Amino acid sequence: MNSCKEHQHPDYVAHLPRLNRIEGQIQGIKKMIGERRYCPDIIMQLKAIRAACQSIEALMLETHLDSCVVDAFHSDNEANKNEKIQELTKLYKK
């Protein structure tokens, strides 16, 4: 795992296959809508996409906390620590 020190961000390439799968699911939903498929079937697919996105989001947040945030709090730079706190606060307010 890379750290965020000196603007080196973690490598998330391993998540690309999951994102490609989500992209395929979205295409499938578009097709279902075009075919006027049953509403609950489409909604279930939308829920599956939301769950997949939330899973990737959780993994990325965990990596960010384990690398970027930990690095900031191990440094003597108070401004960097405050920046990370503000960054996380902003994420949760959205």
Return the HEC string of 30-44: HHHHHCCCCHHHHHH
Could you count the other beta carbons within 10 Å of the beta carbon of residue 72?
21
Digit-coded pLDDT (tens) for 55-91: 999 999 999 999 889 988 888 888 888 999 999 999 9
Query: Model pTM?
Result: 0.79
CATH assignment, 12-93 = 1.20.58.1000
Only one residue has tokens 């279930």, namely: 44
Digit-coded pLDDT (tens) for 9-65: 889 999 999 999 999 999 999 999 999 999 999 999 999 999 999 999 999 999 999
Q: What is the pLDDT of residue 61?
A: 93
Answer whether 71's CB lies under 8 Å from 63's CB. no
